[in-house]
Amino acid sequence: MKNIACIGKDPFYIKEEGLVVNASFSFFRLGSAFYEYICSSNGLPDLILFELSHETRDDFMQLRYLLLKEPQFTSIPFIVISSYPSLQLLQLSKKFQIKDYYIFPAMLGGLEKRILQLLSDNHPTTEAAQRPTLAAQAITEMKFKLPLWKRIFDITGASLLILLSSPILFLVGILIKLESRGPVFYISKRAGQGFRVFDFYKFRSMRTDADLKLVDLKDQNHYFSAAAVDAKVGQVPQAVGTILMMDHGPVDEDKFIQERDATDGQTFFKIKNDPRITRIGKIIRATSIDEMPQLINVLKGDMSLVGNRPLPLYEAERLTSDEWIERFSAPAGITGLWQVSKGKNSAETEEERKQLDITYAKKYNFWLDMKILLLTLPAAFQRADS
């Protein structure tokens, strides 16, 4: 009988969650304990399942380093499982030559098929063996279907809004081009439902060099605490600039970590009276017209009319934890519970914003969506810059 080694903070969880595979299991809480076992044992496991989290990443790196040094160990198939999607853990897995990365137990069926494939007698064990589930593709395989009523309402509503507002959209596009050089639309990468990344459309409301000024303005972040700002007095500024790269393409991991540390762990970035905004930008932001190109995202199925705001990748990465990951189970939306709650309930803190996102993810239904849409128009004129 084939043997599977389960390693992690709670290795028994892997077997107990419902993994049905005809094999024996060995359990290890530490990678070092597993390594000592295989070094002193005559037999090797046929497969390794490692439960990777931010708590176990050091143990994971140490084990992979040891295994990659010994040729007899590199042929053992190694699968990483994680209870939530994380860009950092994905990058770490790829760095240590792991191609199989599964969100567990959300991708239980796919994991079982992959294990059976790897345990089959005719499966090649060389490094040249093809593995269909790459780490970079694992998260996108998590499918979240919108309820039929929501998709029908989105298509109908977005089509009507685009048709009725087309003269305004055309005029705004002309004014943006006349005021400053650059594209009419601002397109960035955002993470939506199921952590799926897509191109996010807005009318450009800032100067084209806005991202270059971001580092100079980070101490004006609305979500910074006074204590955090005071703690920075006398510190040498970090040489950063990775936030703009997170929106436009790949980012060097070391630079990203420096930027994250420089913002004191704050998830959301927001500046009041931002000097980078153009004159027409202030008007379209105050009236939420800058959001209207997102109707294209709704028609494409990237977003819904109502949902949780899709986040820039550097913000989304900080919410991939057991405490906050549930907010990504809801559809991404143009408007949502947080937007209509800001004026009435003063939901201005980072904690409140996260809690409202999770509340919507748990409770969204047709009538809640209708209520949010009815409250959106008055809230739009009270909104702070987002």
pLDDT digits (tens, 9 = 90+) for 331-370: 999 999 988 886 544 446 777 888 898 899 888 999 999 9
Using alpha carbons, list the distances in angstroms from residue 291 to 40, 171, 295. Answer: 62, 15, 8
Q: Of 139, 166, 189, which marks where a domain is finished? A: 139
Does residue 110 have a pLDDT over 90? no
Across 118-125, average pLDDT: 62
pLDDT at position 362: 86
Does residue 194 have a pLDDT over 80? no
Phi-psi region for residue 366, left (φ > 0), alpha (ψ -120 to 50) or beta? Answer: alpha
User: Do 211 and 77 share a domain, yes or no?
Assistant: no
Question: pLDDT digits over 1-55, tens only?
Answer: 889 999 988 888 888 877 888 888 889 989 988 988 888 877 789 999 999 988 8
pTM (2 decimals)? Answer: 0.52
User: Do 245 and 102 share a domain, yes or no?
Assistant: no
How far, in Å, CA of 339 to CA of 382, rounded?
10
Question: pLDDT digits over 147-183, tens only?
Answer: 899 999 999 999 999 999 999 999 999 999 888 888 8
Does residue 141 have a pLDDT over 60? no
Structure confidence at residue 60 as a pLDDT band (50, 70, 90) = very high
Across 127-138, average pLDDT: 38
User: Do 211 and 281 share a domain, yes or no?
Assistant: yes
User: Do 298 and 248 share a domain, yes or no?
Assistant: yes
Non-local CB neighbours of 66 within 8 Å, separated by 6+ positions: 31, 35, 73
Q: Which of 253, 218, 213 is nearest to 235 (CA)?
A: 218
Is residue 349 within 8 Å of residue 230, measured between CB atoms?
Answer: no
Per the domain annotation, does 215 fall within a domain?
Answer: yes
User: Do 129 and 185 share a domain, yes or no?
Assistant: no
User: Do 241 and 311 share a domain, yes or no?
Assistant: yes
Contacts of 120-125 spanning 24+ positions with Cβ under 8 A: 125/75, 125/76, 125/77
Does residue 234 have a pLDDT over 70? no
Q: Of 89, 110, 139, which marks where a domain is finished? A: 139
Per the domain annotation, does 385 fall within a domain?
Answer: no
Q: Of 139, 173, 191, which marks where a domain is finished? A: 139
Range scoring the smallest mean pLDDT among 100-114, 301-315, 335-349: 335-349
Parent domain of 307? 148-380
How far, in Å, CA of 161 to CA of 305, rounded?
11
User: Do 224 and 82 share a domain, yes or no?
Assistant: no
Given the structure tokens 């042929």, which residue do they identify? 75
Per the domain annotation, does 202 fall within a domain?
Answer: yes
Does residue 295 have a pLDDT over 60? yes
Per the domain annotation, does 184 fall within a domain?
Answer: yes
User: Do 89 and 22 share a domain, yes or no?
Assistant: yes
User: Do 87 and 198 share a domain, yes or no?
Assistant: no
User: Do 112 and 63 share a domain, yes or no?
Assistant: yes
Across 273-295, average pLDDT: 83
**Which is higher by pLDDT, 246 or 86?**
86
DSSP bridge partners of 186: 202
- The CATH number given to whatever domain includes residue 85 is 3.40.50.2300
Position 288: which residue type? S
How far, in Å, CA of 356 to CA of 330, rounded?
12
Mean pLDDT of all residues belonging to the chain: 75
Is residue 316 within 8 Å of residue 79, measured between CB atoms?
Answer: no
Non-local CB neighbours of 330 within 8 Å, separated by 6+ positions: 193, 307, 308, 357, 360, 361, 364
pLDDT at position 49: 94
Q: Which of 62, 76, 106, 82 is nearest to 9 (CA)?
A: 82
**Which is higher by pLDDT, 135 or 28?**
28
Helices 148-179 and 366-380 cross at an angle (nearest 10°) of 20
**Which is higher by pLDDT, 180 or 80?**
80
Does residue 215 have a pLDDT over 50? no
User: Do 131 and 181 share a domain, yes or no?
Assistant: no
User: Do 31 and 90 share a domain, yes or no?
Assistant: yes
Q: How many domains does the chain have?
A: 2
pLDDT at position 187: 87
* Phi and psi at residue 270, to the nearest 5°: -155, 135
Task: Encode burial over 204-234: b for 16+ CB neighbours within 10 A, e otherwise.
Answer: bbbbeebbeebbeebeebbbbeeeeeeeeee
Q: Which of 229, 225, 254, 228 is nearest to 239 (CA)?
A: 254
Is residue 335 within 8 Å of residue 303, measured between CB atoms?
Answer: no
Helices 57-69 and 31-40 cross at an angle (nearest 10°) of 30
Structure confidence at residue 261 as a pLDDT band (50, 70, 90) = low
DSSP bridge partners of 25: 4
State the Cα torsion 253-259-260-262 to the nearest 10°.
150
Range scoring the smallest mean pLDDT among 48-57, 110-119, 281-290, 312-321: 312-321
Q: Please state, as a whole number, how many other Cβ atoms lie within 10 Å of the Cβ of residue 181.
A: 7
Per the domain annotation, does 386 fall within a domain?
Answer: no
Does residue 232 have a pLDDT over 50? no
pLDDT at position 210: 53
